[in-house]
Amino acid sequence: MMAVCFLVLSFTVSGEASVSNGGDAPRAAWEPFKKTGMSSVGRNIGRNLAPVAADLDGDGVDELYVGAYGKRMIALASTASGYSSSGIARNPLDAVTMSYESDTPCVALADIDNDGDADAVWFDFRSIDNRISPVYLNQMVCLKNQGTSMVPDFQMVPDEENPFAGISSEWQGTPAFGDFDGDGDLDLLFGDRSGTFRYCRNLLVEEGSSYYAEMMGSLNPFYRIDVGDNSSPAVLDLDGDGDLDVVSGEIRGGLRWIENTTPAGGALAFELREAADGPFASLAVGVASMPAVLDVDGDTDPDIVVGNSQGRLTFLANPRLQPKPSPRVNRLADAVPQSPSVPSRSMDRVEESADLSDAMLALKTLAGAIVDALGPKAAEGAGGVSENR
């Protein structure tokens, strides 16, 4: 079975190569990292590679964990020349197991219980007992981190405590998490072999306890979006407008951009952009592409790593932010071509907010001076107005 994983981060705009976007502003094109020697990283890992990145040892640098055919999770550490298993003293995701040898574990890492460390979830082919005969479904399995963010200890959550109880996929699901509705907790998005997407909202029952409920039909903001076969989402702000978009892998080996088109104050909405109009138009990353987000070069902006069914990992450089000098010595910043940056839309918003705050502060100060000049009675009247508002 094919699978994929995720991470969440954001982007701004650069003056590098670009592609059209149906008449809108051009989108910066993503390209593989050059002169890094990382094209051969995945040769001896296996096939059906499903990557996910996280800093599970607390050293400030993300490791790369890769699910592979045969139910294995391989841990790779960042080095000066790429990613290597030799830099991993302990693989905390050894606890991930699959029911069948033919499956590939597609693990998503997210803070499900809001305790400050990453938990692990994935879909596995498990039996459901009934009175007639066993039924097998791809159910979401949850490993809660009972350790710390620096020394994780993943333990299986019993079915009765599993916040994903009742969520299943016809084929092996490919989970990703993101706060799509902006309520401060992580929602679940997953694809599968059908090429469509299913969306589950996080319904916070109480502090430290969540329950995920699937949104059906038109309540699913990804309703009717179909990338063909083997949808595999990664969640990130691709266009720098402050909301979360989705990049999905698919069976033919491309990457598809699903743009967040939610209107201000409106219901969540997403639109699948034409492949030729997206920032991945010129890329061929292998059959059954499986993306995840990873800061490859240590410049604090998110890049993308893509696994595929042939057993290859492709690392894509973020063209939207200018790399910054990094104190990390085990990254590849020197090998990545740098480009001039252009002020981002998100930075424009920050500056506008700052200007508005300054103006409000100046107005408040001026109003206070006027009240003081008018005397105590005016001050009392001003206070009454303020309280009524």
Assess if residue 360 is contained within a domain.
Answer: no
| 80, amino acid identity | A
Per-residue buried b or exposed e for 339-374, using 16+ beta carbons within 10 Å of the residue's own CB: bebeebebeeeeeeeeeeeeeeeeeeeeeeeebeee
Name every residue whose Cβ is closer than 8 Å to that of residue 167 and which is 6 or more positions away in sequence.
139, 140, 188, 200, 212, 214
Name every residue whose Cβ is closer than 8 Å to that of residue 150 and which is 6 or more positions away in sequence.
57, 58
Rank 100-104, 132-136, 156-160 by mean pLDDT and report only the highest. 156-160
The share of the chain scoring above pLDDT 70, in percent, equals 69
Assess if residue 192 is contained within a domain.
Answer: yes
175-188 mean pLDDT: 93
Assess if residue 248 is contained within a domain.
Answer: yes
pLDDT at 120 over 60: yes
pLDDT at 234 over 90: yes
Q: What is the DSSP string of 107-147?
A: -EEE-TTSSSS-EEEEEEEEEE--SSS-EEEEEEEEEEE-S
Q: How far is CA 274 from CA 238, 245, 255, 259, 282, in A?
A: 15, 15, 11, 11, 13
pLDDT at 365 over 60: no
**Sign of dihedral through CA atoms 284, 288, 293, 295?**
negative
35-49 mean pLDDT: 66
Structure tokens at 66: 């890769």
β-strand partners of 109: 120
Report DSSP state, residue 40: G
Structure tokens at 379: 């001050």
Tell me the average pLDDT of the chain. Answer: 76
Assess if residue 303 is contained within a domain.
Answer: yes
Assess if residue 367 is contained within a domain.
Answer: no
What is the structure's pLDDT at 45? 85
Distance CA 245, CA 233 (A): 10
- Three-state SS at 377: helix
What is the structure's pLDDT at 378? 41
What is the structure's pLDDT at 3? 45
**Sign of dihedral through CA atoms 70, 73, 77, 82?**
positive
Q: How far is CA 306 from CA 6, 78, 332, 342, in A?
A: 10, 16, 17, 27
Assess if residue 234 is contained within a domain.
Answer: yes
Task: Report how far apart the first and last C-alpha atoms of the chain are (Å, whole number).
Answer: 60
Alpha helix ranges (H) inside the chain: 345-374, 376-388
136-153 mean pLDDT: 89
Task: Tell me the pTM.
Answer: 0.74
Q: How far is CA 167 from CA 270, 300, 312, in A?
A: 22, 34, 31
Owning domain of residue 157: 38-83+92-321
**Lowest mean pLDDT: which of 13-17, 38-42, 170-174?**
13-17
Nearest CA-CA partner of 208 in 145, 254, 155: 145
pLDDT at 237 over 50: yes
**Sign of dihedral through CA atoms 52, 55, 56, 57?**
positive
Of residues 312 and 27, more confidence is placed in 312
pLDDT band at 257 (very low <50, low <70, confident <90, very high): very high
β-strand partners of 190: 175, 198
What is the structure's pLDDT at 358? 43
Asked if residue 240 lies in contact with residue 319, where contact means CB atoms within 8 angstroms, the answer is no
Locate tokens 């699937």: which residue? 214
| 157, amino acid identity | V
What is the structure's pLDDT at 259? 96
Name every residue whose Cβ is closer than 8 Å to that of residue 317 and which is 6 or more positions away in sequence.
30, 31, 32, 33, 296, 297, 303, 336, 337
Query: How many separate domains does the chain show?
Result: 1
If you compute the radius of gyration of the chain from its CA atoms, what whole number of angstroms results?
Answer: 23
Distance CA 106, CA 52 (A): 8
Of residues 149 and 7, more confidence is placed in 149
Assess if residue 3 is contained within a domain.
Answer: no
CATH code at position 280: 2.115.10
The maximal CA–CA distance of the chain, rounded, in angstroms, is 86
pLDDT at 132 over 80: no
Assess if residue 179 is contained within a domain.
Answer: yes
